[in-house]
Amino acid sequence: MQLHCLGTAGYHPSESRHTSCYLLPQSGIVLDAGTGMFRLPERIETDSLDIVLSHAHLDHIAGLTFLLDILYQRPVDEVRVWGQADKLEAVRTHLTSELIFPVELPVRWCALEDQTTIELPDCSLSWRPQNHPGGSVAYRMDWSDGRSLVYATDSDGEHDADSLEWMSHADVLLHECNFQDHQKEWAIKTGHCYLGKVAEVSRAVKPKRLLLTHINPIEELVLDPNDRRFEMPVEIVSDGLVVDF
């Protein structure tokens, strides 16, 4: 299984990072639709796409407006966009307003609320709500061969016992870390994570591998290789990185 990192920044793009977008090409799953979406066409391997939105903040949805060009370059039979109903409604009302992007997007809108686990073409997708201004959701993908990936972005890292259990023992935990430890106050104020908080969460849920995403575009996160708070391999992902798991 491969994870292609198409956009790894939080908030806005930088010279080296676009905003949140990941592709699992074998499954046709796109995690968030940030500005990194423009990198999608040559990487698509499936006849349909499932774009799953963590929430509707601009750095996670701007790339939906790139879909016309993406599908012109690489047509697929169907694009489904998954998210909480209020987030999908906000995208449809505001992002595709005549005054902002006056074209109906060629997608099927699929609200999550109807089901806590969704059977996608080659895996089960489940979700849990997270604390973040306006609310966001984390996703977990479980494949039939036992592999699993959890994507948790735009979250303050506060999780109840059920959520920690749900996140536990994934092959890959792709977790946001927008702030460094000395910016803890900003993390709390904006509903994001700082390094110490991600260390706490990862120790509780024990993934085989921890990938840090939603990187602050003006003050890049730095990892100390001797940081003993992490009990598993941890790395900061970058645009263009392909992760095998």
The least CB distance from residue 147 to Zn ion, in Å, is 26
Shortest distance in whole angstroms from residue 100 CB to Zn ion: 19
Instruction: Tell me how far, at minimum, the Cβ of 216 lies from Zn ion, in Å.
Output: 11
Residue 59 engages Zn ion in binding (rule: CB under 5 A): yes
β-bridge pairing 209-213 and 172-176: parallel
> What are the E-state strand segments in 85-240?
108-111, 117-120, 123-130, 136-143, 148-152, 172-176, 209-213, 234-236
x-marked contacts with Zn ion along 38-57 as a string, rule CB under 5 A = -------------------x
CB of 95 to Zn ion, least distance (A): 15
Nearer to Zn ion, 73 or 131 (CB): 131
Rounded distance between C-alpha atoms, residue 8 and residue 34, angstroms:
9
Separation CA 78–CA 48 (nearest Å): 5
For residues 29, 33, 38, 40, the Cα torsion angle rounded to the nearest 10 degrees is: 0
Closest CA to 195 of 157, 167, 169: 157
Among 4, 107, 149, 154, binds Zn ion (CB under 5 A): 154
Q: Which stretch binds Zn ion (CB under 5 A): 10-18, 39-47, 123-131, 196-204?
A: 10-18
Instruction: Name the residue nearer to Zn ion (CB basis): 133 or 233.
Output: 133
Interface positions, 94-133, toward Zn ion (CB under 5 A) = none
Residue with the two structure tokens 């949140």: 20
Sign of CA dihedral 58, 59, 60, 61: positive
Q: Which stretch binds Zn ion (CB under 5 A): 36-44, 58-66, 69-77, 199-207?
A: 58-66
Q: Nearest distance from residue 158's CB to Zn ion, in Å?
A: 15
156 makes contact with Zn ion (CB under 5 A): no
| 88, containing H or E segment | helix 85-90
Size of the site for Zn ion (CB under 5 A): 4
Q: How far apart are CA 131 and CA 137, in angstroms?
A: 8
Find how far residue 40's CA is from the centre of its chain. 15
Check: CB of residue 27 under 8 Å from CB of residue 46. yes
Indicate whether 32 belongs to the interface with Zn ion (CB under 5 A).
no
* Identity of the amino acid at 225: P
**Selected range binding Zn ion among 4-12, 39-47, 160-168, 180-188, rule: CB under 5 A:** 4-12
Nearer to Zn ion, 28 or 191 (CB): 191
Pick the stretch among 71-79, 85-93, 98-106, 151-159 that binds Zn ion (CB under 5 A).
151-159
Judged by the rule CB under 5 A, the positions of this chain that interact with Zn ion are 10, 57, 59, 154
